[in-house]
Chains A and B, each alone.
Chain A
């Protein structure tokens, strides 16, 4: 909303210089976004919130200035429908719900010409194109009082008739902007004709007039429309037609009936003054006027709600200039009459806002609420935070990627190929048309992006929702995705080594994560196509695998292996056990003995360890792989392993001789059970 300082000053004496005025308005909720000096005047641009259509007018803002500064609002006298009614127009309204108010006034003998200087300049300053004196006046009235008006050339109407009705299906109208619009029965039109059925559209109601009936230089008789239309209808029509006009902007927010009537009178006065002519007839059709809304307001409520102490007197002083009528009901209670142009005010809270605004938000003190403790664990969030900390500690970088993705990429991934994607009805682009059912394509993209930036080592994770169909229901569930690519460098005391990332790194991350979360009984189960299922007990938690050649091509990754993992945290977290119980540190020292042996390549370490554990119990407390080797000294098809066995007793310090037979037996069992060769 644009207006000028002088224009505003016509309606209220402004006691503030322009800059201060802007600050004052901003702090009252009318945010001034720009101030520009123009030949002795100042143009202000104000952002008006959608709840205050009354502020879409100079008078509305003047009312605000009056309330804040204590100046008086200057309104011209209301001009009533004149009694002279020689040629009353014919107004038919199909449905009063669509159009609760319609006023038509006919002015005869106007001379169409250019607008006087003051009018032309004001409109120009606020960026409104001048047309001719009559149209400019309707615009001037629109900006001054917020009521959109329209002037028709009566000679283009059938018998000065106006019909307000829904458009017929496929009805066409050439609008003022020269474009032909195709209408439908969800749109309201102003038509002319002898009856509802036999009428032709001359305007899209509340949005734009038609070309044919517009006021032109040859016009001498005009019909001035002032109306109120159903905001929802205007809004839908405007959207469907893709038209935004100053008129529609106000109608969709709600126009006040009384203001409409008043503005119509002011427009007639200005037209007859400037363009000459005489009002020769008028007709107003209106729905029953709603009763004035009354709200009961307690001074004590205002004070306790805002945390201030102001007397009832102050409340009256704040609200009256805004058009509210306050009558004291008792010592503490006012009965507040709400002006018709304030449809947004419905209850005491709305009045409290008005009081707070005029009092000044700045003057309200700062206090702290008494917050009562409420300890509530949010397991999923706490667990996700713990997981992030653990993964970060493992050198993984957290990423955040878009939940929306493109179907094509999703379909390339095994995880996305088999599920029905959840589609967005109104996507911005193909790239964001699907709610992802897996994090992996997005993580793959991240890897590709960073490889392009010449990163040698990319190790990333994301914890975010994935979206799936559970039957026909849409379900969102928390997932963890990890992606690894490249190699990292370590310094050892003899120099640096390059460590290529692999599936075992993913496994290591999950082992650490699970052990830190107190998860037991998990396993990594190989399945076809290099996929490893991650199990807890018998339940599948997720899987890890290298990206396939097809996926790498889709991501445009060349000459690099990428390893990915996805876990459904909704399944994992309930298995976590963060309750720690102290286990006494061992009283007696342990003895370690190593076993070095060569075993067949296909023998699984897990099997060997399980067997040794079983046979070594109870003295064998721990068994770990400390070295492995494949190469020259090892026969083809085999690998060398070194295990470290830890023996300990709870009762005494073990001696060499006590464990020797057991250790020997374990060594021999490797030979007998797995055909291993001891080294």
Chain B
């Protein structure tokens, strides 16, 4: 078939096809015509295979024509089929096995600690807090002195610290509370800020201790912040993380940088307060430390005496994540076993 023959043949099909299809009167004839034109070895298959040999300048035009005609035959056949009232036979069982694995791209996941941090930050952001991060390498002032932690006092023991080999007595922050000092030094109230991040303490690693872990510090400072505001805020947080039916209690405690200081317990999420191995039969789980910012801390950051009041709190991310997901060994977070990470 040469080029001209092809054109002629297309033209003749175009002219005769309407009548040809209109004259069909049975289902079987309909199928025969379909095969004649559109079948695997039909006329159009032949046309298509011929197209590459068409001179380049006409190729597009011919291709268009062939496709147009092919579509039209399909439409006409369908139309005739409807006219003849041929009921389509029930569809055969599809050959696709839908129980085969779906095709798609596996996505990764954020680390469970990142997820916990983001979730907690989001709760506070909804309450109007901003998120701010601070450096991990800190000065003694920001980590201790500014927070009213005397250098030579047993209260320092709780914040045992890694020091760098450096002249300036730099250290790895042992808590996120230096974030309080930094935020207050950089801005004047009103303030509502949360500071998430890594912290370090020279603890031997075991199921419940790690020399590196994560905390979130929060603080609210304004002219008239009350202790009752601390209770209300933390209740919103605790219920958002652990659910509405969780009970919360405030216990007096001591932190050098808050006064009054309180430790916050929640009713044990395992035993609902009855007492089990997770809560050490107490029915309560200690989850965070908090209190009203100590006047001495305000003095250290240069706020005028008596001008502001505020509250602060700090919580351990690993502890929250362990309670929330029922994880019993803190080391799992840092081993990064994919069988662990992909559960979250």
Contacts and interface: CB of A to CB of B under 8 A. Distances in A.
A387 B195 CA distance: 20
Interface in B131-177: 131-133, 135-137, 152-155, 157-158, 162-166, 170, 172
B74 interface: no
B216 interface: no
A378 B110 contact: no
Interface of A: 26-29, 31, 49-52, 231-232, 235-236, 252-253, 304-308, 347, 349-350, 352-353, 356-357, 361-362, 364-376, 378, 380-381, 385, 388-389, 391-404, 422-428, 432, 435, 446, 449-450, 453, 455, 458-461, 464-465, 467, 474, 476, 488, 490-492, 656-657, 660
13 contacts: A27-B249, A27-B251, A29-B251, A235-B154, A307-B229, A349-B295, A353-B259, A361-B251, A365-B232, A396-B108, A402-B211, A427-B202, A474-B166
A381 B254 contact: no
Given A371-B128, A400-B334, A432-B211, 17 more contacts: A352-B260, A361-B251, A361-B260, A364-B250, A369-B232, A369-B233, A374-B130, A381-B133, A388-B114, A398-B110, A404-B211, A422-B164, A424-B163, A425-B163, A464-B198, A465-B136, A491-B100
Interface of A is mostly: mixed
Contact of B336 (A52, A393, A450): A450
A369 B222 contact: yes
Residue among B198, B228, B252 with the highest chain A CB neighbour number at 10 A: B252
Interface string B54-85: 00110010000000000000000000000000
Contacts of B166: 422, 474
Contacts, number: 245
Residue of B200, B204, B231 with most partner-chain A CB within 10 A: B231
Contact of B260 (A31, A353, A372): A353
Q: 9 shortest A-B CB distances, which residue pairs?
A: A307-B228, A29-B252, A49-B254, A371-B128, A353-B260, A307-B226, A366-B232, A369-B229, A399-B336
B212 interface: yes
A476 B170 CA distance: 12
B232 A362 contact: no
A459 B108 CA distance: 9
B111 interface: yes
B266 to A, nearest CB: 14
A373 B236 CA distance: 18
B228 A400 contact: no
Contacts of A235: 152-154
B227 A252 contact: no
A528 to B, nearest CB: 32
Nearest to B152: A232
B184 interface: no
Nearest to B160: A426
Interface of B: 56-57, 60, 100-101, 103, 105-111, 113-114, 118, 127-133, 135-137, 152-155, 157-158, 162-166, 170, 172, 190-192, 198, 200, 202-204, 211-212, 220, 222, 224-229, 231-233, 235-236, 249-254, 256, 259-262, 292, 294-295, 309, 333-339, 341-342
B282 to A, nearest CB: 9
A308 B228 contact: yes
A398 B109 contact: yes
A401 B231 contact: no
Contacts of A404: 162, 200, 211-212
Contacts of A392: 107-110
Contacts of A474: 137, 164, 166, 170
A378 B130 contact: yes
A622 to B, nearest CB: 20
Contact of A400 (B101, B114, B232, B249): B114
B162 A424 contact: yes
B337 A50 contact: no
A49 B289 CA distance: 13
Contacts of A370: 222
B251 A428 contact: no
